């Protein structure tokens, strides 16, 4: 349902109270610039979304009378954190004061108010409901946590997943594991061979922002991994086990342990999908995992351009070409290969990035793009990678349409698909 007019801008009083300013229509940001947003691009803020007040920042809007763009003088700017399965089309537009604090590692999508509702410029990109907040039953989660801790008393990984990930960080994947369903997280690496500016598991002391979770502190054994993953693959609906989680470094640095785990797991069951979320830095290790039985890979990247990638990932002893090679390796074994594509309006939808993305899809025979919202302070990100000019933009929506048109077999989504989807009717209703 598209709006009759743009929503009004939001502002906060700096005390957590949010108001609409009916003298200004909300706009969106891409790169360093503010743009009007088509009425049809606004959707109601989906369930599970949040609103943030942005200290030291003033919102930009369009004056409802003059049509001029100007600042909202009434308070701080407001942005939305849109829930998983949705991709933001525009960032929140604001002017940042010189002494404004760097924003924490969340996504900052534009937001507005219309007819009693909050609105955001976004699209639902995935119909799988595995991380719908309405689907989480706290009683079942706590019962499941108790059951797993009781049944795996000596398993450090189950202890980490239940006490830290599930009950402290409220990680959606760990909560699904506690509920005995879908994708089960298997973190394994305390170290990483990249130095991402917006790393969510490690931020250097000198940085003012903190990582959203702490990095794993131990190396799990094959026995610890196999002990809980086999029952999950055997019993969970649409089962997936996924190495590579937000609470660890790079899983490929633990490839021997993962290889031996996969071999051991597959001795017990052929059920489900064994996936690895990774920075893709070690194609030889990926080959060994495919030999062992890995089914799918998801390689994270902020860009399909080597230059932009390298400025963000700051890789140790690997390079952009290695991540491309890792995708190719999995496809050469008939596996499923996705990119975890950090969407940043004004960078992701530039003509240069579009051409690089087309090349990546063709070179790797890519299976899927997971259009993820980039959880980072926009000014900080562009500043850190030294981008002052972003170049000609297509718009995120148009970029998706162009890619979908040229690559009809390439899947769009937000989550790693279960084997039932990879092998079955992919478009079937997965609102399971």
Whole-number minimum distance, CB 213 to ligand SF4, in Å?
A: 11
**Closer residue to ligand SF4 (CB): 177 or 202:** 202
Cβ at position 186, least distance to ligand SF4 in Å: 15
Give the residues lining the site for ligand SF4 (CB under 6 A): 192, 194-196, 199-202, 249-250, 279
Instruction: Indicate the residue among 95 and 207 with the shorter CB distance to ligand SF4.
Output: 207
Q: How many CB atoms lie within 10 A of CB 19?
A: 15
Q: How far is the CB of 278 from ligand SF4 (least distance, A)?
A: 8
3-state helix, strand and coil shares in percent for the chain, rounded to the nearest 5: 30, 25, 45
Query: What b/e readout covers 372-384, taking b as 16+ CB neighbours within 10 angstroms?
Result: bbbbbbbbbbbee
Distance in Å, CB of 191 to ligand SF4, minimum:
9
Contact yes or no for 29/90 (Cβ under 8 A): yes
CB of 105 to ligand SF4, least distance (A): 10
Q: Which is nearer to ligand SF4, 23 or 203 (CB)?
A: 203
**In terms of CB distance, is 200 or 271 closer to ligand SF4?**
200
Choice between 303 and 400, CB closer to ligand SF4: 303
Residue 344 in contact with residue 308, Cβ under 8 Å? no
Evaluate the CA torsion angle 186, 172, 83, 182 in order and state its sign.
positive
Residues 63/24, Cβ–Cβ less than 8 Å: yes
Q: Chain centroid to CA 48: how far?
A: 15
Q: Which residues contact 237 (CB under 8 A, 6 or more apart)?
A: 181, 182, 432
> Tokens 């030291």 label which residue?
56
Q: From the CB of 315, what's the least distance to ligand SF4, in Å?
A: 9
> Whose Cβ is closer to ligand SF4: residue 9's or residue 253's?
253
């Amino acid at each position: 349902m598209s709006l009759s007019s743009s929503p009004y801008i939001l502002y906060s009083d700096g005390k957590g109270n949010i108001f609409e300013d009916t003298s200004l229509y909300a706009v969106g940001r891409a790169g360093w610039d503010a743009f009007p947003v088509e009425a049809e691009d606004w959707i109601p803020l989906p369930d599970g979304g949040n609103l943030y007040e942005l200290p030291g920042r003033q919102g930009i809007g369009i004056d409802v009378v003059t049509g001029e763009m100007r600042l909202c003088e009434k308070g701080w700017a407001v942005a939305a954190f849109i829930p998983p399965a949705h991709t933001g089309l525009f960032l929140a537009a604001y002017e940042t004061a010189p002494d404004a604090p760097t924003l924490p590692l969340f996504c900052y999508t534009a937001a507005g108010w219309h007819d009693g509702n909050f609105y955001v410029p976004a699209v639902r990109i995935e119909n799988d409901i595995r991380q719908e907040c309405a689907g989480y039953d706290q009683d079942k989660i706590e019962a499941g946590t108790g059951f797993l801790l009781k049944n795996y008393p000596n398993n450090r990984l189950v202890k980490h997943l239940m006490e830290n990930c599930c009950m402290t960080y409220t990680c959606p994947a760990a909560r699904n594991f506690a509920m005995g369903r879908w994708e089960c997280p298997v973190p394994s690496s305390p170290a990483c061979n990249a130095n991402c500016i917006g790393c969510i598991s490690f931020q250097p002391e000198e940085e003012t922002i903190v990582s959203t979770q702490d990095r794993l502190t131990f190396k799990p054994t094959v026995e610890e991994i196999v002990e809980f993953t086999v029952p999950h693959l055997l019993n969970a609906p649409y089962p997936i086990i996924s190495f590579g989680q937000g609470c660890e470094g790079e899983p490929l640095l633990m490839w021997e342990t993962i290889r031996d785990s996969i071999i051991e797991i597959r001795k017990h069951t052929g059920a489900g999908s064994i996936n690895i979320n990774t920075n893709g830095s070690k194609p030889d290790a990926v080959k060994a995992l495919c030999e062992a039985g890995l089914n799918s890979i998801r390689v994270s990247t902020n860009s399909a351009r080597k230059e932009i990638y390298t400025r963000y990932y700051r890789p140790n002893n690997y390079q952009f070409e290695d991540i491309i090679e890792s995708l190719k390796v999995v496809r050469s074994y008939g596996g499923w290969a996705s990119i975890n594509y950090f969407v940043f309006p004004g960078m992701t939808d530039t003509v240069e990035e579009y051409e690089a993305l087309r090349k990546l899809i063709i070179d790797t025979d890519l299976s899927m793009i997971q259009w993820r919202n980039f959880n980072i302070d926009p000014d900080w990100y562009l500043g850190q990678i030294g981008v002052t000019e972003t170049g000609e933009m297509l718009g995120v929506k148009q970029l998706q349409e162009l890619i979908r048109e040229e690559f009809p077999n390439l899947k769009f989504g937000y989550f790693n698909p279960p084997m039932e989807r990879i092998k079955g009717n992919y478009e079937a209703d997965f609102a399971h």
